[in-house]
Structure 1
Amino acid sequence: MGRGVQVRTRTGGSVIVTEPRLPSAFAEFEKFAEKWCLATEPERWEARLSTPMSEIREFYDAFSPRFEEAIDYCDKFPLEDVPDDALNLLHLIYSMIMVSMAVEIFGTQKPADSADAEMHRVSAPVP
């Protein structure tokens, strides 16, 4: 069994996460990891479309203050040799980018007055 990490919730409580996905310096975001550490852009897009705006806003508000710090952390590694925890943090960064327009511009997870909101890719950039 892996090491446990105590993560504080917004309501002041805490939960124990037994298998941390993120670097220990970013343990406070473990509660978002399962939903937002997604490897592909279509997965992140689908998560944005299917997640209530209140949850998107909670993720955005929590991660925004440390967004640049997370990028700086990931920049320490060459792309061909990113540790799993840093790769998960990178996926969290990508999800933050995906939801930021919903929060900052649209005010809703689904683009209004636009074409069909579907995304189909035949390949994706790595990582």
Structure 2
Amino acid sequence: MSILPEPFRELEPFVDDWAKPTRQERYDTRLAKTIDELGVFYDAIAPRAEEAIAYLNELDLRELPEEATRLLRLLYSLILVAYPVNVFKQPRIPDSGAAFFDTVAEPAV
């Protein structure tokens, strides 16, 4: 059984933690990880992002196979960890205290 499309199989170790179906689950994962763990994920996925986007652009978004959906969710997680890794240098938004936000809509896929 394929977990990710063939060209992206080396990213499979990140699927269990990061290919979550909802933004809230991905955000909860971000908050549960250390900045070093976020960095490992970011460093593995970011260099492959453009290639993954090009791969997904060749598919019909309404009929993505499960392995392509997982790849898309890894990209969603990449977006979620980019600021913490590159700007905040911590999983949480600095100086936000106990503030939080609720997701009111999810991406279509």
TM over 0.5: yes
> How many residue pairs are counted as aligned between the two chains?
109
Q: Of Structure 1 and Structure 2, which has the larger fraction of its residues in strand? A: 1
Tell me how far 1:121 sits from its aligned partner.
Answer: 2.5
Given candidates 37, 57, 66, the residue that maps to 1:75 is 57
Letter in 1 for 2:25: E
C-alpha distance in 2 between matches for 1:100 and 1:111:
12
Identity %: 38
Q: Deviations over 1:13-62 (max 9, x none)?
A: xxxxxxx4211110000011100001111111111111111111001111
The answer as to 2:69 corresponding to 1:87 is yes
Q: Does 1:107 align with 2:89?
A: yes
> How far apart are the structure 1 equivalents of 2:49 and 2:105?
26
Give unmatched runs, 5+ long, in structure 2: none
RMSD over equivalenced CA pairs, Å:
1.4
| Of 59, 69, 73, the match for 2:41 | 59
Q: When the two structures are superposed, what TM-score results if normalisation uses the length of structure 1?
A: 0.80
Counterparts in 2 of 1:61 and 1:39: CA distance versus 1, 3 Å: same
Moved more, 29-38 or 114-123: 114-123
Q: Which runs of 4+ in 1 moved over 4 A?
A: none
Q: Which has the larger radius of gyration?
A: 1
Structure 1 spans left out of the alignment, 5+ residues: 3-19
